[in-house]
Amino acid sequence: GMNNMNFNQFSLLASALAMTLAASHLQAAPIKDSSTEMDQASQAAVTVYRNKGNPGLQQAIADCYKSVGYATPFCVYMDVAGREIDFSVAQAYKELGQNVAPHAYFQSKAFGERVASFYILHRQTRKESNAHLRKIQPQIKKRVEKILFPNG
């Protein structure tokens, strides 16, 4: 029994060490953004919204995280685009005198929890994550508005 315990302790230590090394290796890398992926994610979000409305958009974003995953920020772009669509539509209704609240799925708490997974996997600090979101948000907003309202 004694040897067994030592072996388990060793393998735990080894895997903890491996994780630490992996973390320190990943830590320094800032997120690499791709304007092509921003274009594609924005277009995808608008297309899904037009065909399937908000429920379809929410499903597509959930599916994106599951199937496309977290290697690149593609799904984060799509999530941000979905949020922009939701807010734009709510704003448009408001201007027509109708009160349509943005969906809970796109409000800060739920949205923040989803994108946090991406940033945690890429070893970004909270400060770095927020800076990245602040950087991509206006770029995606511009794309979404151009696709949603092509005639300005």
Q: Token match 């941000």: residue?
A: 80
pLDDT of residue 100: 87
One digit per residue, pLDDT tens: the chain, 152 residues? 444 444 455 555 555 555 555 555 555 588 999 999 999 999 999 999 999 999 999 999 999 999 999 999 999 999 999 999 999 989 989 999 999 888 999 999 999 999 999 999 999 999 999 999 999 999 999 999 999 888 87
The dihedral sign for the CA sequence 89, 92, 98, 102: positive
C-beta neighbour count of 133 within 10 angstroms: 18
Residues 6+ apart with CB under 8 A from 141: 84
The dihedral sign for the CA sequence 107, 111, 113, 119: negative
Report the Cα–Cα distance between both ends of the chain, in Å, rounded: 74
pTM for this model (two decimals): 0.80
Angle at 105 between CA 76 and CA 72, to 5 degrees: 10
